[in-house]
């Protein structure tokens, strides 16, 4: 199936959902809620090694909550990261493939279950393969600063992402999700890589923001979106893992800068200290507030809405309930 047909699948899903599809929520958060120990450079991807069945369980919980798109557990799963744990290249690539397989298996099991129930209101969910930023691999918080140092070039970023992208594409997801991109350089690397590899799967690229106005690098989103707007591979652009109070302004900003679909899935509002590896006390928004936010974000033009860190299936249930009753 080519790029146009796969993009049409996503467009059809959005239409069936009334103009806005629901993305799932915080994956690592829910793993921790089930007792998984993920204080590790691999973060949530460590569960691919230690407890793959728990990953499938979390996917099921988000599907049951009303998610139309489930994002794989590969955000911090990289071949260099797995190699640093002593795994062979073949094992590393197998774990990347497994991240997609687990999501597909959960989606298909859930679909088989609800298809047998008359009157259900679920659509067949799509699987998005997560590709975290270079900063996520470094595990030093640099995805929230965009400061990779002067030795990190466009070619180095493409080389870093290339094999992981190839393996994930071969695993057969419906979508690709480049997440928490902090600067223009990495966004450009992702776009060029999709073209060089002739990828026939639609992708979204999400930046984050620490001030609600610009990318973490300090670059304007007008600069960051320049290469994305020219790419046929990019279906949607947006924001993930930024506080909810930033999202309204950012949707309005993106709506003026792009004709791509807009995707937003913020965190709970808490602030992550990447160096101390802990969440800092700050304003935290509950499920009821996310429910109200989601309606406004949809009305402003967002086509894909979900949650990121510190959101849970109950958050997604609230978003889904609100969006699908209107």
pLDDT in tens, 211-254: 999 999 999 999 999 999 999 999 999 999 999 999 999 999 99
CB-facing half-sphere around the CA of 222: CA atoms within 13 A: 2
What is the pLDDT at residue 274?
59
Interval 187-192 mean pLDDT: 98
- Spatial separation of the C-alpha atoms in residues 43 and 52, rounded to whole Å: 14
Assign 277 a pLDDT band (cuts: 50, 70, 90): low
Residue 271 is predicted with a pLDDT of: 66
User: Average pLDDT of the chain?
Assistant: 93
Residue 115 confidence (pLDDT): 85
* Predicted pLDDT of residue 21: 98
Residue 1: the pLDDT is: 80
| Confidence (pLDDT) at 276 | 60
Over residues 84-88, mean pLDDT: 95
Instruction: Give the residue numbers spanning the domain of 76.
Output: 3-323
Quick one: the chain helix, strand, coil %, rounded to 5? 50, 15, 35
Rounded CA separation 149/185 (Å): 12
Domain tally for the chain? Answer: 1
Region 90-111 average pLDDT: 98
Q: Return the CATH number at 286.
A: 3.20.20.330
């Amino acid at each position: 199936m080519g790029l146009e047909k796969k993009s049409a699948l996503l467009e059809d899903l959005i239409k069936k959902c009334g103009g806005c599809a629901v993305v799932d929520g915080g994956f690592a958060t829910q793993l921790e809620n089930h007792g998984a120990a993920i204080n590790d450079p691999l973060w949530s991807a460590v569960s691919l090694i230690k407890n793959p069945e728990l990953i499938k369980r979390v996917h099921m919980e988000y599907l049951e909550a009303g998610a139309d798109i489930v994002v794989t557990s590969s955000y911090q799963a990289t071949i260099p990261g797995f190699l640093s744990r002593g795994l062979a290249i073949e094992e590393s690539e197998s774990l990347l493939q497994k991240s997609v397989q687990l999501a597909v298996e959960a989606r298909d099991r859930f679909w088989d279950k609800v298809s047998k129930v008359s009157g259900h209101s679920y659509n067949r969910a799509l699987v998005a393969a997560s590709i975290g930023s270079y900063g996520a691999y470094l595990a030093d918080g640099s995805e929230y600063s965009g400061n990779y140092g002067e030795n990190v070039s466009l070619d180095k970023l493409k080389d870093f992402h290339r094999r992981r992208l190839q393996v994930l594409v071969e695993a057969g997801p419906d979508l690709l999700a480049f997440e928490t991109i902090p600067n223009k350089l990495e966004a450009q690397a992702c776009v060029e890589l999709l073209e060089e590899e002739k990828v026939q799967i639609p992708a979204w690229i999400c930046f984050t923001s620490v001030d609600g106005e610009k990318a973490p690098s300090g670059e304007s989103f007008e600069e960051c979106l320049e290469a994305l707007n020219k790419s046929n591979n990019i279906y949607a652009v947006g924001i993930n893992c930024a506080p909810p109070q930033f999202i309204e302004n950012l949707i309005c900003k993106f709506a003026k800068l792009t004709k791509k679909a807009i995707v937003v899935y913020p965190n709970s509002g808490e602030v992550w200290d990447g160096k101390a590896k802990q969440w800092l006390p700050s304003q935290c928004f509950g499920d009821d507030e996310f429910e109200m936010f989601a309606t406004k974000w949809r009305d402003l033009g967002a086509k894909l809405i979900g949650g990121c860190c510190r959101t849970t299936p109950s958050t997604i249930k609230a978003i889904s309930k609100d969006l699908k009753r209107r």
